[in-house]
Structure 1
Amino acid sequence: MMRWMIIALSFLLNGCSTQLSDYPPQGQPSFDLQRYFNGNLTAWGIVEDYAGKLTRRFCVDIRGEWEGNRGTLHETFYYADGEEQVRIWHLNVDDQGVVTGSAADVIGTASGQAQGHVFNWQYTLSVPIDGENWEFAIDDWMYQMDDNRLMNRSYMKKWGITVASISIFFDKTQPLRECRSS
């Protein structure tokens, strides 16, 4: 019985989720992944559990490089607890603006698209927890604030239920700030 209640709750919660079409197409500034993630930038973030409790803080040094519609994002995460993590995204933007990507800890292909000042990106992430790899669905929302700043909210889900949320603030005026020293 409990299993069916969880499944029903999962469908109910997913039915209330935000869609990219909920945002106006004319939102400014217009989000352009290739323009924003080109060169060096720094980001700061937090991870909160399902109850909103802060569980981790981090800083990220990011370097983006593009050749036409193909790009690479090299992200180095520096967690407050001393852990370091590297993720290298290999990205492609098609003629309709659909972005696809892959990284070593991403299962399958990530896919996303922008509308106005908003970009929605979805993928499955493999996360090591207590010696095992767990797969989580990531629903990633980026909001371009101005030419230099971007807010990011990501929802980490397991069986359709949000188990954690990640908030990240990107700033191009602080390129490669060397997070280790901050």
Structure 2
Amino acid sequence: MKSMILAVSLLLMSCSTDINDYEASSPALALDRFFEGELVAYGMVQDRTGKVLRRFKVDMVGHWEGNRGVLEEDFFYDDGETQRRVWYLEKGPDGRYSGTAADVVRPASGQTRGYALNWRYTLAVPVDGRVWHLDFNDWMYLLDEDRLINRAVMSKWGFRVGEVTLWIERRGG
């Protein structure tokens, strides 16, 4: 299992940054199918040097009605902090998705192609008693119908400040 995770991680680090490169890949990622029901995620936040700053678990529940969805996320950090984010998602034409949440300063906007999604947004992130508006370049890669890897590069004023990596799994998957 560890060797598979390492292999997938190395593959993702070498992946292209153009969503159209994934056009013919499968299985196809549809957020309204993957994020339906109960999910669990495990992740980490790294600084720009790669040092792990925090680890966390996320319990998620997604509900979709037509082209609109709600994804509830409850974060449990290794230092005892908890956080809740509720995404309001919308599926558009041609694999396009958008999303908002209370701490999302600039709404998420992106597109799926094959097994990948790339979307960008700005998130208000508390850091040492202040709130920073960090830009997220968020990539999701569907591994199979029950598992997905999410990798987001965070930047401020165009400079990379860190990365968030998540392993998301459908409950019972």
- TM-score by length of structure 1 reads 0.83
Give CA deviations for 1:95-132 in whole Å, capped at 9, x if unaligned.
23211110000013210110010000110000112222
Equivalence for 1:94:
92
Q: What whole-Å deviation, never above 9, does each CA across 1:39-87 have from its counterpart, x for those lacking one?
A: 0010000111100011100000000000100000000000010000000
Runs of 4+ in 1 over 6 A off after TM superposition: none
- Which of 25, 29, 32 in structure 1 is aligned with 2:30? 32
Q: Secondary structure at the match of 1:138?
A: strand
How many angstroms does 1:173 deviate by? 3.7
Letter in 2 for 1:75: E
Task: Report the CA distance between 1:154 and its aligned residue.
Answer: 0.5
User: Aligned AA for 2:112?
Assistant: A
Alignment-mate amino acid for residue 49 of structure 2:
A
Deviation at 1:28, TM superposition (A): 0.8
Bigger relative CO (Cα 8 Å, ≥ 6 apart): 1
1:60 maps to which residue? 58
SS in 1 for 2:166: strand
| Distance (Å, rounded) in 2 between the aligned partners of 1:25 and 1:105 | 31
**SS at structure 2 position matched to 1:108:** strand
Question: Where in structure 2 are the equivalents of 1:1-182 lying within 5 Å?
Answer: 18-21=17-20, 23-174=21-172
Q: Is the 8 A contact 1:42 1:174 kept in 2?
A: no
How many residues are paired up? 158
- 3-state SS, counterpart of residue 22 of structure 2: coil
SS at match of 2:33: helix
Unaligned stretches of 5+ residues in structure 1: 1-16, 176-182
RMSD: 1.3
* Conserved? CA contact 1:152–1:168, under 8 Å: yes
Aligned letter for 2:19? L
- The answer (yes or no) to whether the contact 1:29–1:147 under 8 Å persists in 2 is yes
Could you say what secondary structure the match of 1:96 adopts?
A: helix
Q: Compare CA radii of gyration and give the structure with the larger one.
A: 1
TM-score, normalised on structure 2? 0.87
Cα distance in 2, alignment partners of residues 44 and 146 from structure 1? 17
Task: Structure 2: give runs of 5+ residues left out of the alignment.
Answer: 1-15
Q: Which amino acid aligns with 2:150?
A: N
